[in-house]
Amino acid sequence: MMSCQCECKCKCTLWAIIAAVVVGVLAAFLQITGQITVTPAFLWALLGAAAVYLAVLVVASALSRGGSGCECACTSLNAVLVGILGTALFSVVLLALGVTATSVLSAALVGLLLSSFALTLAGSACYVKALTGCGC
């Protein structure tokens, strides 16, 4: 496995987290105002995407065992894993509770769900960037 002694400063992961927070706040605001709706089909699609994404990430990590010379891959991989687990968790919670358009709790959970999914996407871009050696 890759050495996870992250000594470099990974600005890409920081930008991914900032972007995920912005997406989450925006989604929560749009949900509470009723501008967007989240359907159970969308929640099932995100749950499936998280499961497939986790499987692909496990295979990709196994294939790139130690191939990266940059320690930033470890930080990016942690961000991707947090995003995947958050997406799966919040989609299951929202499926169990049900989403109402003007509920503050639903808006907060939708914001956390979309923030986690945005972190998954942005973190995976940072992970690929770190694996290819760009920016380290």
pLDDT digits (tens, 9 = 90+) for 75-111: 888 889 999 999 999 999 999 988 776 788 889 999 9
Q: What share of the chain is helix, strand, coil (3-state, %, to 5)?
A: 75, 0, 25
- More confident position, 44 or 12: 44
Q: Is 135 helix (H, G, I), strand (E, B) or coil?
A: coil
The pLDDT tens digits of the residues spanning 63-75 come to 766 555 566 777 8
